[in-house]
Structure 1
Amino acid sequence: MLNKIALEEAWNISDAASLGGFQPGSLAPKGVIGGDLGANLLDIHGTRLQQMDENGVEFMVLSLVSAGPQGVADKAGAEKLARVANDKLSDEVMNTPSRFAGLVSLSMHDASQAASELKRCWNELQGFVGVVLNDFQSAGEDGNTMLFYDDPIYDTFWKTAEELNAPVYIHPRSATPEITEKMWKGREHLAFSALGYANRVNMHLLGIITAGVLDRFPKLKIVVGHMGEHIPYDLYRIDHKLNRARFPNMRMRKDKLVRDYFGTNVFITTSGHFSTPALLCAMAEIGTEAIMFSIDYPFESIPNGCVWFDEHVKDTLNARDLVRIGRGNALRVYERLREAPHGLKELTTTECGVGGLRREEGEVEFGLYNKDWSRRMVRQ
């Protein structure tokens, strides 16, 4: 499929280490994840853009690599990292606004300060279309305090995000030192993408939903990646076990199920989870309108994610659903993508290269699958 939009794509600042940000060597040795992970994170207009062109990705929405400000336990330090990163990301995406936009990074130590920084980026800078929060906010002298945004003290922030129509992408991050020691020691291989990331984000998202945040702010939009962080496949059990008689004080609306928020308030992306059966399950559980394409570059391969979507998913879905997931839904969730300086438009299936009759001038068409009446032209 041509003209795809990718939403969970990471970027880093060159002085991240001095500001408490992500250091690539802390995750894996050089050469383990996509060659030079550090260089790939810093690059926007070189290899990244070249691979986008080669794989039918028209547009990427960039965000500061996890854990960002959420990993900085010091309030002043987290706020400084967010501000520096936002200023630099705005400059970067405005170099090529027809191909890139950004998500605002925020310190979540203080809800009012987070709201103010979001307003600054939204109204004074250019190129931002939403927010990224890397799960919980680390706090405390030892970094073991975890601040979660289902607490009513964060309503000031949620109110601002709703008023600005700024979708909030909740992205995974590593656990605190205490949780790592108690839960993941001896099984460190499970602490990250294989299990730990999803387990922490899905708890946080479900906490936000069941705390009634989306009921208090009904126009708010929240996005999670990695095919929904396991939630779509557990929705029956989640809704079944949130028994209102057993949990009468749960603040979520009494006439709604968790699944009812998907497609209107809650959305997922395919980032780093290139499984067609999983996608079909998610479509059946939460609907096509709740799902958007993403890659998770540079932690995942642009060609790998695109070959999956363009070749394997294409042969499974109808063309309209493919284009909705690959492009259309992103334009409906991230409405600023339609506006200047980006100016993206909805495209037809034919414009995206997955619909319509395609043939050469003067060619006689015998069938949709084989172009010769009597001789097989496609490989067996």
Structure 2
Amino acid sequence: MTVTDVHAHLLLPTLQAEVRRRDPDGFEAADRLELRRNGASSQAVSGPMVGARIPQLTDVGERLAAMDAQAVDRQWVSASPSHFSPWAGEQLAVWIACEANRQVAEHVAQAPDRLSGLGFVPLQHPSRIVECLDDAVLGRGLAGVEISSFAGDVELSDERLEPFWARAEELDAIIFLHPFGCSLDERLDRFYLANTVGQPVENAVALSHLIFAGVLDRHPELKIVAAHGGGYLPTAIGRSDHAWRVRPDAQGCAHEPSSYLRRIWFDTVVHDHAALRHLIAVVGASQVVLGSDFPFDMGLDDPVGFVRGALLDDGVTELILSGNADALLGHASSPS
């Protein structure tokens, strides 16, 4: 059994420095927004936390040693969402995506038997997304791309994203949904609510846009993998189903919203065994994949142990640790 962690990050310091050099005003404005969203006390903790993990976030040897300690055979490596830069103008955003694709590909190429890569697209510029997806999958040999829950005025239900969904489906590309930042802003600026509440909210909102807008009806072969267990949506999906049944304005999808959860994959970063068991009950054992959020402090230090600790059937455990991700990667590794 090949144990696969689908949620592991890479930091790109040279890219970050070049973005700052190319647009210092935009970069500083983004920093101010993050401070406003997270609050000074959380930022004071996050800085040293990330700093202490720089070796694991940048060095392949350190990454492999940590994987060995976790009994993880393969990681899907995606750049830290801090690199999304949703504020960047078109030219800079396209450069960021292509440069991130290049650096992720170079990183995973150092251990191709153990690492697979996910690239970037400039979500805030829908007209440029397809070319960056092609750059990632066809140009750099990556398994797919990582996207945020929204970017500027672009929600995942935006009609301008239709060519992107169609091309991702055509390529069998993995789309890893990982939010960065929450539009609730200052309401979450203390107690680390920007992460503990904001991330699950953003996952739920983004997936709801996909479902209610009928994106999964039009593109049934999409490979969407949601971080953080899909946030609050699997827990509260009954409310979505009820709205779909009684509200004509909530009937943009062909079937009950809960049925679409069995077409999406969800990682195990839920931090609670009861929550993991509930997730499996709602979405099906075939739709859950091992994730750790490596190597950040809000991740799972022992992701394999966490899954085994849920006391699931052996067959379900094997699917989550290995089989489901292997099946997804098998599709994504052979673009047409």
TM-score where L is the length of structure 2:
0.86
Q: Is the 8 A contact 1:222 1:267 kept in 2?
A: yes
Partner of 2:202: 200
Aligned-pair distance for 1:226? 1.2
Say yes or no: does 1:56 pair with 2:89: no
Any idea what SS the aligned residue of 2:122 has?
Answer: coil
- Structure 2 residue identity aligned to 1:278: A
Pairing of 1:308-323 with structure 2 (within 5 A): 308-310=306-308, 312-313=309-310, 316-323=311-318
Any idea what SS the aligned residue of 2:143 has?
Answer: strand
Aligned partners of 1:35 and 1:19: how far apart in 2? 19
Partner of 1:136: 150
Partner of 1:93: 108
Any idea what SS the aligned residue of 1:57 has?
Answer: coil
Correspondent of 1:296 among 293, 316, 329: 293
Partner of 1:5: 4
Aligned-pair distance for 1:302? 5.8
Correspondent of 1:229 among 228, 231, 248: 231
Q: Is the 8 A contact 1:3 1:56 kept in 2?
A: no
Partner of 2:173: 166
Aligned partners of 1:276 and 1:249: how far apart in 2? 32
Aligned-pair distance for 1:197? 1.3
Aligned-pair distance for 1:8? 1.0
- Give unmatched runs, 5+ long, in structure 1: 139-145, 341-380
Aligned-pair distance for 1:338? 6.3
Say yes or no: does 1:151 pair with 2:154: no
Aligned partners of 1:306 and 1:220: how far apart in 2? 27
Q: Answer with 85-94 or 65-74: which moved more.
A: 65-74
- Give unmatched runs, 5+ long, in structure 2: 21-26, 36-41
Partner of 1:38: 54
Any idea what SS the aligned residue of 1:33 has?
Answer: helix
Aligned partners of 1:104 and 1:165: how far apart in 2? 14
Partner of 1:325: 320
Say yes or no: does 1:113 pair with 2:137: no
Aligned partners of 2:316 and 2:77: how far apart in 1? 24
Residues 88 and 71 (structure 1), Cα distance of their counterparts in 2 relative to 1, 3 Å cut: same
Partner of 1:375: none
- Structure 1 residue identity aligned to 2:133: L
Aligned partners of 1:19 and 1:205: how far apart in 2? 29
Aligned partners of 1:188 and 1:53: how far apart in 2? 33
Aligned partners of 1:302 and 1:77: how far apart in 2? 34
Aligned-pair distance for 1:68? 2.5
Say yes or no: does 1:250 pair with 2:251: yes
Deviations 1:74-98 (CA, angstroms, capped at 9, x unpaired): 2222211111111111111111110
Partner of 1:180: 185
Q: Answer with 46-55 or 97-106: which moved more.
A: 46-55
Aligned-pair distance for 1:73? 3.2
Aligned partners of 2:78 and 2:273: how far apart in 1? 26
Corresponding pairs, count: 317
Partner of 2:117: 102
Partner of 1:142: none
Aligned partners of 1:158 and 1:277: how far apart in 2? 33
What is the root-mean-square deviation in Å for CA atoms of aligned residues? 2.6
Aligned partners of 1:99 and 1:70: how far apart in 2? 28
- Structure 2 residue identity aligned to 1:40: Q
Aligned partners of 2:159 and 2:43: how far apart in 1? 34
- Structure 2 residue identity aligned to 1:251: G
TM-score where L is the length of structure 1:
0.76
Residues 52 and 32 (structure 1), Cα distance of their counterparts in 2 relative to 1, 3 Å cut: same
Pairing of 1:61-100 with structure 2 (within 5 A): 61-100=76-115
Deviations 1:13-53 (CA, angstroms, capped at 9, x unpaired): 1221431589999945478537713333222x222211211
